[in-house]
Amino acid sequence: MTASRVLVLNSGSSSVKYQLLDMTDRSRLAVGLVERIGEETSKLAHEPLTGPGAAGGRRERLGPIADHGAALRAVAAELAADGLGLDSPELAAVGHRVVHGGTRFTQPTVIDDEVLAEIRSLIPLAPLHNPANVTGIEVARSLRADIPQVAVFDTAFHSTMPEYAARYAIDAATADKYSIRRYGFHGTSHAYVSRATAALLGKAPSDVNVIVLHLGNGASASAVRGGVCVETSMGMTPLEGLVMGTRSGDLDPAVVFHLARVGGLSVDEIDSLLNKKSGLLGLCGDNDMREVQRRAEEGDSSAQLALASYVHRLKKYVGAYSAVLGRVDAVVFTAGVGENSSWIREAAVEGLEELGLALDPEANAVRSREPRLVSAEYARVAVAVVPTDEELEIATQAYALVTR
């Protein structure tokens, strides 16, 4: 029997998302989420999708889960109860989403002590994300030391950006000393979605130029030429670029000096303001796009302004990336907002006929989990909606590496 299962772990600061996949048919065997780790009100939601447990559907366990170690052990117990235990010889690898790979990691990588130490050394570049990723790796290794643990980096797909796009125009020696450059994030999603868009167009990835708009709670755009990323909107950290749920995106860096000098805010306070209290939340008090849209429709002026800012920024990026690519074959929307909000898609494309973009209103209104075209027949550039699947992409990359 060849081992064909991959467990994908996405460890956040207080959460662990997981999926167990069978790579022979790319099916999902179980999915789940542990939330509020370290609090009294932790929650484990587990759903077996195959085997004897599947008929029972989703199960929830409430009660304190002290740390990531306890969380993973609880997940392992749920999987074992469904006959999908992690001790199974069918488990081929564990794939870990790792947010920051710096310039060192541009490919999925089997984790040994040296790799783990290097991921740890990147913590200053991603203080909110990499520590949880490291913990997830340590715990998974302690559960199954005998199978490969593979790191798949959120930055990797963007490592092909040309130097002139990756560099900030600051003193070069200072930039090098502190590893300051644009790395980009959501790379697993941009890779998966740009490839799936080529397939939707019936072409090889090497033959198409695509602008990917990943619009979730975090949001980023990328320009992908012939399957290779040449520009993306997030920078040294996920703060740069589009207006997001709680992040400001682009902003004059002098705002930071002003807040410190005139407002008397500490660096940590400014960090929290820009990452956690800005974007849609900062503009109107809500970061959930459904709520912002609902309020805007009811005439709430701050929600309308938040939407207008969000769409304006998107358009600026679509225009800029059209110029970067020269020829654009498709603009593709993905993630929570991009996949579900026909309103945002319509507003983002409106008025861009000169760039070759126009929607088919009926196609755009359809709700579906399938990749689909929503552009008008006469449009020169295809507009597509492609649901992202970061877990499947992580599993695919990890499995390809360990079965090579």
Query: Measured from the CB atom, is 92 or 394 closer to ligand AMP?
Result: 394
348 contributes a contact to ligand AMP by CB under 6 A: no
Please identify, among the stretches 83-91, 130-138, 336-344, 369-377, the one whose residues bind ligand AMP according to the rule CB under 6 A: 336-344
Q: How far apart are CA 47 and CA 111, in angstroms?
A: 28
340 contributes a contact to ligand AMP by CB under 6 A: yes
The binder of ligand AMP chosen from 108, 336, 356, 387 (CB under 6 A): 336
Q: Verify whether residue 154 is a known catalytic residue.
A: yes
Query: Measured from the CB atom, is 302 or 340 closer to ligand AMP?
Result: 340
Least distance in angstroms from the C-beta of 340 to ligand AMP:
3
Query: Measured from the CB atom, is 123 or 347 closer to ligand AMP?
Result: 347
3-state SS, residue 46? strand
The helix (run of H) or strand (run of E) holding residue 274 is helix 267-276
DSSP state letters, 362-388? HHHH---SS-EE-B-TT-SSEEEE---
Cα–Cα–Cα angle for 36, 341, 298, rounded to 5 degrees: 90
Least distance in angstroms from the C-beta of 348 to ligand AMP:
13
95 contributes a contact to ligand AMP by CB under 6 A: no
Least distance in angstroms from the C-beta of 213 to ligand AMP:
12
Q: How far apart are CA 398 and CA 108, in angstroms?
A: 7
Query: Measured from the CB atom, is 49 or 243 closer to ligand AMP?
Result: 243
Q: Yes or no: say if 337 and 345 are a contact pair by the CB < 8 Å rule.
A: no
The binder of ligand AMP chosen from 191, 213, 306, 335 (CB under 6 A): 335
Residue 288: alpha-carbon gap to chain centroid: 17
Q: How far apart are CA 228 and CA 190, in angstroms?
A: 10
Query: Measured from the CB atom, is 74 or 394 closer to ligand AMP?
Result: 394
341 contributes a contact to ligand AMP by CB under 6 A: yes
Q: Yes or no: say if 196 and 386 are a contact pair by the CB < 8 Å rule.
A: yes
Please identify, among the stretches 200-208, 224-232, 287-295, 351-359, the one whose residues bind ligand AMP according to the rule CB under 6 A: 287-295
Angle between helices 342-349 and 301-325 (to 10 degrees): 60
Q: How far apart are CA 207 and CA 203, in angstroms?
A: 6
Query: Phi and psi at residue 364, in whole multiples of 5°?
Result: -65, -30
Least distance in angstroms from the C-beta of 60 to ligand AMP:
19
31-40 LR contacts (CB < 8 Å, sep 24+): 32/75, 32/78, 34/65, 34/71, 34/74, 34/75, 36/65, 37/65, 37/66, 37/67, 37/68, 37/70, 37/71, 38/14, 38/65, 38/66, 38/67, 39/14, 39/64, 40/64
Of 82, 154, 286, 329, which one is the catalytic site residue?
154
Q: Yes or no: say if 141 and 149 are a contact pair by the CB < 8 Å rule.
A: yes
Query: Measured from the CB atom, is 106 or 246 closer to ligand AMP?
Result: 246
Least distance in angstroms from the C-beta of 288 to ligand AMP:
4
Query: Measured from the CB atom, is 204 or 366 closer to ligand AMP?
Result: 366
Please identify, among the stretches 132-140, 168-176, 224-232, 335-343, the one whose residues bind ligand AMP according to the rule CB under 6 A: 335-343
The helix (run of H) or strand (run of E) holding residue 228 is strand 228-232
245 contributes a contact to ligand AMP by CB under 6 A: yes
Please tell me the number of Cα atoms within 13 Å of 376 on its side-chain side: 13
The binder of ligand AMP chosen from 118, 269, 271, 288 (CB under 6 A): 288
DSSP state letters, 115-143? HHHHHHHTGGG-TTTHHHHHHHHHHHHHH
Least distance in angstroms from the C-beta of 252 to ligand AMP:
26
Residues 201-240 that bind ligand AMP (CB under 6 A): 216-217
Least distance in angstroms from the C-beta of 335 to ligand AMP:
4
Mask for 160-199, x = binds ligand AMP (CB under 6 A): ----------------------------------------
Q: Yes or no: say if 155 and 185 are a contact pair by the CB < 8 Å rule.
A: yes
Any idea which residues carry the catalytic annotation? 154
Residues that bind ligand AMP (CB under 6 A): 216-217, 245, 288-290, 293, 335-337, 340-341
